[in-house]
Structure 1
């Protein structure tokens, strides 16, 4: 009945409301002024990566889950890639963040490393590759690659080298670094287990007199176990990490890839 009365009032000879006056009625959007439309080309596809170096090796690892919000795009999306075309240049890049930018960055760096070998007749060193990657990122600083990159390999002395980057090319060499959605969960664990932060010699004293545990190079098997434990823990606490663990090991004997299943829920 109320709807019929409303219809009659709108179509009577002297209605209290006119559609011609609708455009002049103030409302929240009109009173707020012109609307601004923005273009945001980025998205975060989740996942996490990490890198750890030792005396004679480097390990880069990442999970294989790709997400968009609460949706899983795919359960196998690698985030760790070999750079170059053979074992003469054992360089590995991990990228996490916006998957499309990560692939574009990987393809660009891979092309540069291959062209360097063809032009100079020798493979690019990991130090030179790290500097070149910084330049690539800085060239795109006004429209940056939306990724957190980690570059790993063996330096001129055969020691593990690891370089971590921000999106605009600032980088530093580190012993270990975590990136991506679960970085805040993994990095404290790496600080304790790899950098020996907050580890002390039992019975060496009390309070500030405690002696720090001496830092010793970790063997490869121990580091592989640390990587697995880090991602196993991260999948328990973060919905954007899971499905599978991809690890690439870089040693003087070449590059080896390993895959370990993770939680799928």
Structure 2
């Protein structure tokens, strides 16, 4: 029998699992955004509710921002990052216009946003961005981004709390997924729907999402960017807007090519 215990002193101490300390500066503030491109217009929309979990922080928080006469940006995710990112994008656009005496084109804005996001990839903006507007050739376009800068041009895209509900609906109605043309009818072509149909799809998307998600609601803001040459009445007459909608024509933000941007707003469910 040993006269002393040969085990080291620390072996007698109770084993305690290490405690991991972690800090996250991010938060998800809910809401949903979407954009749809038409032949010569684009619609970019978002709700106005800002929340954290089941707590509603405010019932009016903008998620869609007009950048130029032909470009509008929607942001969703961490609200503070979104506001800061939009501020920096607008700052760069102002520098560009002072240096080149013309506004930046939509495709160039998309590339600039990609560069800005990728430059912060190790501590990224926790924001999903959707850029919509009119290209130089007069066609409507939508560019979607992930938080680290990967992006692509699409006919439609949704992001946010209700993305899992809204995106399949848009895939069916805009890309005509799981739809078969009638015998003898022309094949479906994405991005060729009339403005009235697109506005109706946006309203249906958000009213449905509001019924299912507590993080979506209160108000809907739709920015409609129209190609140069389209009349103001194209929106009010062709759109056949539902009762309760307000239409406001936004002023020019510089020396553009003549595109027009309208803000169409309506209330959503407040529960």
Cα offsets for 1:140-183 (capped at 9, x unmatched): 00000001100111111110011000110010000000000100
Aligned: 1:32 with 2:7: no
Cα offsets for 1:6-53 (capped at 9, x unmatched): xxxxxxxxxxxxxxxxxx995xxx7113x2321100000000000000
Distance in 1 (alpha carbons) for counterparts of 2:96 and 2:24: 35
> Counterpart in 1 of 2:159?
179
After TM superposition, list the pairs within 5 Å mapping 1:205-224 onto structure 2: 213-215=187-189, 217-224=192-199
Equivalent of 2:49, from 57, 62, 65? 65
Distance in 2 (alpha carbons) for counterparts of 1:199 and 1:228: 21
> Counterpart in 2 of 1:154?
134
CA positional deviation for 1:212:
8.6
Aligned: 1:255 with 2:255: no
Distance in 1 (alpha carbons) for counterparts of 2:181 and 2:150: 36
Question: Helix, strand or coil for the counterpart of 1:235?
Answer: helix
Aligned: 1:42 with 2:26: yes
> Counterpart in 1 of 2:76?
96
- Structure holding more helix per residue: 1
**What TM-score do you get using the length of structure 2 for normalisation?**
0.80
Distance in 2 (alpha carbons) for counterparts of 1:68 and 1:141: 24
Aligned: 1:244 with 2:219: yes
> 5+ unaligned residues in a row in structure 1: which ranges?
1-23, 206-210
> 5+ unaligned residues in a row in structure 2: which ranges?
1-11, 228-258
Cα offsets for 1:99-134 (capped at 9, x unmatched): 000001100101111110111011100000000000
Question: Helix, strand or coil for the counterpart of 1:198?
Answer: coil
Question: Helix, strand or coil for the counterpart of 2:73?
Answer: strand
Distance in 2 (alpha carbons) for counterparts of 1:164 and 1:141: 17
> Counterpart in 1 of 2:61?
77
Cα-Cα RMSD: 1.8
Distance in 1 (alpha carbons) for counterparts of 2:44 and 2:71: 10
CA positional deviation for 1:246:
0.6
Pick closer, same or farther for the CA change 1:143–1:197 going to 2, 3 Å.
Answer: same
Aligned: 1:121 with 2:101: yes
CA positional deviation for 1:215:
2.3
CA positional deviation for 1:73:
0.2
CA positional deviation for 1:213:
4.8
CA positional deviation for 1:221:
1.2
The runs of at least 4 consecutive aligned structure 1 residues that moved more than 3 Å come to: none
Distance in 2 (alpha carbons) for counterparts of 1:92 and 1:101: 17
Question: Helix, strand or coil for the counterpart of 2:94?
Answer: helix
> Counterpart in 2 of 1:230?
205
